[in-house]
């Protein structure tokens, strides 16, 4: 008895992706798709090269000498530069890098107490945390949304939406009993 593959399955349900053994060429033969794949590969290659190089340049203090910065002014530049570069390496250029930068700022200020604010002086911790925040930026944004809702409350539109779901049917709420039969 041979096992038939489920061609409608995705991911781990069908690791062969409906292909025969040794059938590796791409099924995307559209020239526009191929051009976009190549441009994305070039972008990722550049990103995977430049972000570690930026971290090395910060570690070797090149910007400090280029801009003639004193130690007191270079320390935060290095700290937040590491966070932005590591976040970008883990995710998307501006979103993940910026999120990593601001998460580090929140931790350093003591507003977000994940670590002791003094621990953020460790370059290894900054790079590791920045990469994880960048890599899981969608989860990090969701968690920060929860924190913001806890600190500042929910928006009025969400409150009105919840009230509309729980309100009894009335002349002012004609849609409360729609779909309930």
Total domains, the chain = 1
Q: Residue 47 falls within a domain, yes or no?
A: yes
Q: What are the φ and ψ backbone dihedral angles of 27, each rounded to 5 degrees?
A: -85, -5
For residue 34, give its domain range.
Answer: 29-135
**Average model confidence (pLDDT) across the chain:** 80
1-40 pLDDT tens trace: 455 555 554 556 767 777 888 887 777 778 898 899 899 9
Confidence of residue 70 (pLDDT cuts 50, 70, 90): very high
| Residue 1: per-residue pLDDT | 47
Q: Residue 113 falls within a domain, yes or no?
A: yes
Q: Residue 64 falls within a domain, yes or no?
A: yes
**DSSP state for residue 13 in the 8-state scheme:** G
pLDDT at residue 126 is higher than 60? yes
Residue whose C-alpha is closest to residue 159's, from 148, 170, 167: 167
Q: Residue 21 falls within a domain, yes or no?
A: no
- Measured CA to CA, the distance from residue 141 to residue 129 in angstroms comes to 14
Q: What are the φ and ψ backbone dihedral angles of 170, each rounded to 5 degrees?
A: -155, 180
Q: Residue 149 falls within a domain, yes or no?
A: no
pLDDT at residue 178 is higher than 70? no
Q: Residue 121 falls within a domain, yes or no?
A: yes
- Predicted structure pTM score: 0.63
Q: Residue 142 falls within a domain, yes or no?
A: no
139-163 pLDDT tens trace: 888 887 888 888 888 776 665 555 5
Nearby residues of 131 by Cβ (< 8 Å), 6 or more positions away: 86, 87, 89, 90, 100
Q: Residue 1 falls within a domain, yes or no?
A: no
Contact between 99 and 87 under an 8 Å Cβ cutoff? The reply is: yes
């Amino acid at each position: 008895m041979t096992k038939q593959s489920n061609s409608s399955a995705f991911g781990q349900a069908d690791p062969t992706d409906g292909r025969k053994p040794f059938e590796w060429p791409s099924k995307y033969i559209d020239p526009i798709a191929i051009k976009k794949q190549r441009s994305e590969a070039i972008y990722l290659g550049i990103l995977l090269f430049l972000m570690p190089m930026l971290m090395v340049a910060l570690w070797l203090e090149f910007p400090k000498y280029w801009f003639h910065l004193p130690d007191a002014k270079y320390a935060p530049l290095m700290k937040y530069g590491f966070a932005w570069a590591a976040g970008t390496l883990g995710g998307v250029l501006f979103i993940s890098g910026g999120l990593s930068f601001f998460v580090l700022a929140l931790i350093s200020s003591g507003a977000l107490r994940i670590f002791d604010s003094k621990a953020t002086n460790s370059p290894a911790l900054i790079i590791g945390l920045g990469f994880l925040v960048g890599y899981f930026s969608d989860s990090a944004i969701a968690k920060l949304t929860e924190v913001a809702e806890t600190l500042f409350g929910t928006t009025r539109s969400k409150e009105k939406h919840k009230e509309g779901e729980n309100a009894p049917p009335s002349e002012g709420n004609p849609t409360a009993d729609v779909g309930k039969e």
